[in-house]
Amino acid sequence: MRVMLDNSIFSHSQFAESAMGPQGPRFGIHNQDNQVWGFVRKKLNPSDEYQLQVDSLFTVGRLIREKRFEAFTYCELMYESFNRTIGERAFDALAGCARSDCPPALMRSRFRGGDGFEFARKGGKKDRKRGLATALSQISFMEWLCSLDERHVTAILECKAVLGLTEFEIESLRNLRCFQKLCAISQSRDNYPDMFHLWTAERNRMDVFLTLDKTLCNVFSQIEHAKIVEIEYPTRVLRPLEFLMLLGVTQPDSVPIESGRFYPAHEVM
């Protein structure tokens, strides 16, 4: 089974944050109150249902390490992670998990180029509010894709050698109407990157796009039931618990870090 991992999976896989706390009895009873560096569990999500989805990532990670399925990512997902703060690696649900790269449906750099930081911008509400949305952003590129008609696609294909388009990308351009319909159903340009991720997953014949984003799952459910988009390959959009049920796992693993407990770094690393 081939599974593409959304950024929400990576961003929630780290369960610990650094803290100072008592070092414990290791260095003698008279030194137990000395403060040392260590870890505590991150604050739990207010939604119990969402937290259960997050907690199940330890099971997802174990199954990747056991090679029960293949995990994939790709460049547009990695660009989104550039703006994410790097967390603590201790108690990482995806530690030691192998991930393979797959090609994007279309390589943005073949059509747009410039400063790396601008290129990594999503161009969503937060970027627009801060004046950081540019023509190089994800959303700007995807809006341009949505504006193309058959005449534009034909002109681009005539320049395929100059642009360096691969056969995979040529087929994507011929399949562009699928992406455009996905974006139309998503009802907001801020959802275009997610639609591009789904399109890329379908083009790469992924069985599952794994996400914690409930909104994306709802959009996909609308697409599936409306049957107005001709899907090239039936990639399913699932959250972790639903995905584990698909694999026959009904009882997720326990989370190896407790709330309210301090873990000295010398005991973890």
> pLDDT digit string (tens) for 20-34?
887 666 655 666 667
Pick the range with the lowest mean pLDDT from 218-222, 237-241, 251-255: 218-222
Alpha carbon 123 to its chain centroid, in Å, reads 17
pLDDT tens, residue by residue, 51-88: 999 999 999 999 999 999 999 999 999 887 766 656 66
Dmax (CA) of the chain: 80
Predicted local confidence at residue 233, as pLDDT: 65
Which residues share a beta bridge with 19? 38
Contact (Cβ atoms closer than 8 angstroms) between residue 170 and residue 105 = no
3-state SS string for the chain? CEEEECHHHHHCCECEEEEEEECCHHHCHHHCCCEEEEEEECCCCCCHHHHHHHHCHHHHHHHHHCCCCEEEECHHHHHHHCCCCCCCCCCECCCCCCCEECCCCCCHHHCCCCCHHHHCCCCCHHHHHCCCCCCCCHHHHHHHHHHCCHHHHHHHHHCHHHHCCCHHHHHHHHCHHHHHHHHHHHCCHHHHHHHHHHHHHHHCCCCEEECCCHHHHHHHHHHHHHCCCCCCCCCEEECHHHHHHHCCCCCCCCCCCCCCCCEEHHHHC
Task: Give residues with Cβ within 8 angstroms of 25, minimum separation 6.
Answer: 32
pLDDT tens, residue by residue, 94-130: 999 999 999 999 999 898 876 566 666 776 666 666 6
C-alpha 23/C-alpha 226 separation (Å) is 58
pLDDT beyond 80 at 92:
yes
Phi, psi of 268 (to 5 degrees): -100, -40
The pLDDT of 1-9, averaged and rounded, is 95
pLDDT tens, residue by residue, 168-180: 999 999 999 989 9
Residue 64's nearest CA partner among 197, 243, 190 is 243
Higher-pLDDT residue of 267 and 114 is 267
Q: Which residue has the tokens 């414990």?
A: 24
pLDDT band of 37, cuts 50, 70, 90: confident
C-alpha 162/C-alpha 155 separation (Å) is 12
The identity of residue 232, as a single letter, is: E
**Could you tell me if residue 86 is left (phi over 0), alpha (psi between -120 and 50 degrees) or otherwise beta?**
beta
Predicted local confidence at residue 204, as pLDDT: 96
Model confidence pTM above 0.95 = no
Residue 97's nearest CA partner among 35, 27, 37, 13 is 13
Predicted local confidence at residue 234, as pLDDT: 81
Cβ atoms < 10 Å from Cβ of 59: 21
What's the Cα-to-Cα distance from 191 to each of 18, 32, 77, 238, rounded to whole Å?
Answer: 33, 51, 14, 17
pLDDT tens, residue by residue, 181-230: 889 888 888 899 999 999 999 999 999 999 999 888 887 777 776 665 66
Tokens of 128: 């627009």
Predicted local confidence at residue 90, as pLDDT: 78
